[in-house]
Structure 1
């Protein structure tokens, strides 16, 4: 039997936490720090992730459709491990995305 837990996060520093398979749908998560957090298979669909710090966070198999990542720090995130279709990004995330696929961006 699989236990289903929904939580609401409001502000704070969630660095190094285990948030695997958490359901964080349609939440305002702006400015939260997820430095090296484990968000494996987390459902973040349609959440506002602007200005979050996802430095080296594990977002593998996470659902990010409809999220807004503008202003978020995505350094060290493996973009190949999750789907980005429908995700809003700014130029900084687009550059990190391209570099994760081996592109050389000037």
Structure 2
């Protein structure tokens, strides 16, 4: 181990030392950037999960509203049929029956 240190130490003249220091500066800067990126990714992940939860809530609310609209339309069709209006509900559309 002593020999390695001596060889490295003797091989580092002024230019090599500057290059080596420059490389460590680049490594340190890169490391700092990576730490910031990881922090941002964690934050983005949390934000995405929160927005996904909001989307799920909206989908559930929309499904409930759609179900209520279907029930309302069924009631309207049933009421119109009491007045002998030739009308039906096919689950998607209100259909008016006409004799040809």
TM norm. shorter chain > 0.5: no
TM normalised by structure 1 equals 0.17
* Structure richer in strand, relative to its length: 2
TM normalised by structure 2 equals 0.18
